[in-house]
Chains A and B, each alone.
Chain A
Amino acid sequence: GAVVSQHPSWVICKSGTSVKIECRSLDFQATTMFWYRQFPKQSLMLMATSNEGSKATYEQGVEKDKFLINHASLTLSTLTVTSAHPEDSSFYICSARGLAGSSYEQYFGPGTRLTVT
């Protein structure tokens, strides 16, 4: 149990376009979802925290108008990278936390590789 999926697993887009990444909790209700960014050979950096039905909380230095996060249901959160540029190329990972059993553990998705050309 506690499976999180992401779609797409990889995407290539042109500079200036927008791309949406979906994060779904498949077998539990995720009251909170997290979005991370990971550069090659580096650790995960938390971008934002989203609670179902409310606005996301962004970490310092993350542009909320560029990285739009929506958490409209208890099983789906989306990250939209608007007006993407090559420097936005990265590996984006989501995690979901809910009341899976009695655990507040975060369950991670498999990640989405974004390449902006």
Chain B
Amino acid sequence: AQSVTQLDSHVSVSEGTPVLLRCNYSSSYSPSLFWYVQHPNKGLQLLLKYTSAATLVKGINGFEAEFKKSETSFHLTKPSAHMSDAAEYFCVVSGARGGKLIFGQGTELSVKP
């Protein structure tokens, strides 16, 4: 069975400072991992995905995530936050290829000017 835990329900950063959103996963086989962003009353946009290729994954808008099997983590980072990054972020795991997506609880990112 797969599960995913986002370690922070809310993260607040100042504009221009680094962003770290933490995610741990559990999977009985090699997982696919995703980060999605959701702006208020909007659908989900894929930021990046890991599917057993390079462990450091680069996504859109300057985000990247590193898959660490030994730590069962897939943390999302960005060197410098922008006001437009304020949104809800979901870490998602999928087991077998094409399997169901299991969503984390979400992390709300606030960016202060």
Contact = CB atoms under 8 A, between A and B. Distances in A.
Interface stretch (A14-22, A68-76, A78-86, A109-117): A109-117
A93 B103 contact: no
B27 interface: no
B: interface residue count bin: 10 to 19
B40 to A, nearest CB: 10
Contacts, number: 41
Contacts of A110: 42-43
B43 A111 contact: yes
Contacts of A104: 97-98
Contacts of A97: 98
A49 interface: yes
B90 A44 contact: yes
A67 interface: no
Contacts of B2: none
A52 B49 CA distance: 26
A43 B105 CA distance: 5
Contacts of B98: 32, 97, 104
Given A97-B98, A105-B49, A43 B44 contact: no
B103 A108 contact: no
A79 to B, nearest CB: 15
Interface of A: 6, 32, 34, 41-46, 49, 91, 93, 95, 97, 104-106, 108-111, 113
Interface of B: 36, 41-46, 49, 90, 97-98, 100-101, 103-106, 108
Given A42-B105, A95-B101, 7 more contacts: A43-B103, A43-B104, A45-B103, A46-B101, A91-B41, A108-B44, A111-B42
